[in-house]
Amino acid sequence: MKELTRKRILVTGGAGFLGSHLCERLVAQGHDVLCVDNFYTGTKDNIAHLLDCANFELMRHDVTFPLYVEVDEIYNLACPASPIHYQYDPVQTTKTSVHGAINMLGLAKRVKAKIFQASTSEVYGDALVHPQTEDYWGHVNPIGPRSCYDEGKRCAETLFTDYRRQHGLSIRIARIFNTYGPRMHPADGRVVSNFMMQALQGQPITLYGDGSQTRSFCYVDDMIDAFIRLMNTRDHPAGPVNLGNPHEVTMREIAERIVAITGSTSALELRSLPIDDPWHRQPDISRARELLGWQPRTSLDDGLVATARYFRARIQASSMSLPDADANAGADFAAPLAHSPT
């Protein structure tokens, strides 16, 4: 009976933050999982514990090139997702979103697989509607420093939707809002990882503007649950689905919580805002609640405690030290480090 429900599942970007958690969950469910990653931002450390599993396979591959495998489902997560990484090589970022989508959609069409696209809340840009619903078309700068990611993901949504219209492909589009948890890249420059590393190392916590800009943070376990529910919907939705935590907090509040949770003595330090940094980001998840019966269950404090435990262990294990907080730049990210991202 188990063989009848066992699926062959491809996860692109499977060695990344979200991808590794998804692979772990799918392997635990007994599916045959093919993890594909070019290791631009992903790392083998994230999936090392899965390598000895009989139903897990790892392949180094870049999705901007075609892939020929036989699978039942595809989760397309491949793309650097933090500004510090996607702005390092913006042309390649756009190629990954657009060419990667074309290649994965072509594969799904050939093997008649269901396919899931990891889109982003960044398709809304610096939103003029708050909170953001799936019907909002967004307010995006097409030529700014964040455009390689924002517009690449918007184009991928177009491709997925047109493959559904033209070829009847079974698609899923998830607009993912800020997600955090263990296995975040410590140097990805995102809010939680930035503040955690600064707090744990006693560096100043850098806030931009006056720290009143807002974000909504979803713990990774809740997000992975939403991914799988969305893929498993029998009657797939016609459009994208927002996935995230609707509880909104200011940057100052998240910084103060992290300082308290880590027991840090770090002071808050104000900086100027970067270009095109959205002021508000909060999902309306009514569609996810209705279609998936899903909403986040992990409290912010519980999630931050688990995340702090992970970063503390990494620091202790490797005695790592990031560059000074002066490298930071924005509510979502830090300025590029002097070395290439790994």
Q: Token pair for residue 258? A: 């992290």
Residues 6+ apart with CB under 8 A from 22: 11, 14, 75, 77, 224, 227, 228
- Torsions phi, psi of 206, nearest 5? -90, 120
Residue 216 parent element (H or E): strand 214-216
User: Would you call 208 a catalytic residue per the annotation?
Assistant: no
Q: Token pair for residue 130? A: 């708050």
Domain boundaries, the chain: 2-179+218-243, 186-216+247-281+298-327
Round to whole Å and give the CA distance between 294 and 286.
9
pLDDT of 77 reads 98
- Coil vs helix vs strand at 152: helix
Cβ proximity of 157 and 117 under 8 Å: yes
When the pLDDT of each residue in the chain is averaged and rounded to a whole number, the result is 89
CATH entry 3.40.50.720 includes domain 2-179+218-243:
yes
Q: Is the pLDDT of residue 95 over 50?
A: yes
Cβ proximity of 240 and 134 under 8 Å: yes
Query: Pick from 165, 172, 166, 73: which is nearest to 113 by CA?
Result: 73
CATH superfamily of 186-216+247-281+298-327: UDP-galactose 4-epimerase, domain 1 (3.90.25.10)
Higher-confidence residue: 285 or 4? 285
Higher-confidence residue: 212 or 163? 163
Q: Is the pLDDT of residue 202 over 90?
A: yes
pTM over 0.75: yes
Residue 173 parent element (H or E): strand 171-176
Cβ proximity of 163 and 109 under 8 Å: yes
Active-site residue identified among 40, 124, 149, 163: 149
Percent of residues, the chain, with pLDDT higher than 90: 74
pLDDT of 126 reads 87
Query: Pick from 125, 77, 122, 129: which is nearest to 104 by CA?
Result: 77
